[in-house]
Amino acid sequence: MATLQDIKKRIRSVKNTGKITKAMKMVAAAKMRRATEACTDARPFAEGYDRLVANLMARIDSEAHPLLAGREERRVAEVVMVTSNRGLCGGFNTNVIKEMRRLLAEDGYEEVKVTAIGTKASGAARKAEVLVESLNHLIDAPDFTEIETLVRGLRKRFESGETDRVFLLFNRFVSTLSQVPTLQQLLPVMPTEDGAGQDIGDMIFEPSPEDLLDFVLGQRLVVQTRQAILESAAGEHAARMTAMDSATKNANEMIDRLTLQYNRARQAAITSELVEIISGAEAL
């Protein structure tokens, strides 16, 4: 049975842990506000690009551009997998890693390659022996130039036939309590449901529709990749804030239980000492 000194040490230890988790929650809340603003501010731009591409695709032959041409083969898939660089955020990273493992096991591809953004993605892909490249710094600083370089490589491998599908795998930020693992196809380009049915009338293309489509498709890949990183960053801080809030509550509950245990043990010790004193007095 634990002594009074052992219980006091444990109470002190849990209190210190509670202070750490409370501080981490406050830091995560501040970071989440900034990340959420960046994510939600960028969404209208990304959605506008989707509508623009959908309208262009409705006016141009789908075989007119190599990024639009679908392929029957399902030999090689490349996944841009986005996670966090740090842990202590509940099941945030685990859900994405599970989706990657499902893709490896169930989707019928002969080979799956992973470009990892985030150390957790890098570790999981390296363990599965499917890692192609790690760009862990992009999760904290999604620079357009570096994302363009990444997309250029994805596009080159797809156009050369080295890969048949390219996907984005990330957590879509829904709310503070909800981040949804999302597998989104990048290549070949598919029109979104929101934009496919819209008609904005006749268009006059300058330069040619093919040149315009080539530029717009390339930029759309950059915008989609950057938006996925922003969504993941916002979701990471929200998940960490929620996890640290839960940890702080658990620490407080544990302190209450340990305090009760300490008081009972202390009372039992006092009672035992009184019994011994009374027994000694009666013996005299």
> Which backbone phi and psi does 171 adopt, to 5 degrees?
-95, 120
> What average pLDDT does this structure show over 34-51?
90
Alpha-carbon span 169 to 102, nearest angstrom: 12
- Catalytic annotation present for 39: no
DSSP 178: E
Distance CA 33, CA 37 (A): 6
Confirm if 115 and 83 have CB atoms less than 8 A apart.
Answer: no
Residue type present at position 186: L
pLDDT in tens, 117-129: 999 999 999 999 9
Q: Report the pLDDT value the prediction gives residue 245, as an integer from 0 to 100.
A: 95
CATH architecture of 4-21+245-283: Orthogonal Bundle (1.10)
The one catalytic residue among 89, 121, 230, 239: 89
pLDDT digit string (tens) for 191-228?
666 545 455 566 677 777 677 878 888 899 999 999 99
Question: Which is more confident, 189 or 56?
Answer: 189
What does the pLDDT read at residue 214? Answer: 81
Residue ranges covered by each domain of the chain: 4-21+245-283, 26-242
Averaged pLDDT for residues 100-123: 88
> DSSP assignment, residue 103?
H
Q: Which residues on adjacent β-strands are paired with residue 76? A: 111
Which pLDDT does position 63 carry in this prediction?
64
- Would you state the torsion angle of the CA atoms of residues 130, 134, 140, 146, taken in this order, to the nearest 10 degrees? -120
Whether pLDDT at 139 is above 70: yes
Residues whose CB falls within 8 Å of the CB of residue 13, separated by 6 or more in sequence, listed in order: none
For the domain spanning 26-242, the CATH number is: 3.40.1380.10
Torsion sign (Cα): 112, 114, 120, 123: positive
Instruction: Quote the pLDDT of residue 216.
Output: 85
* Residue given tokens 């250029």 in the structure block: 152
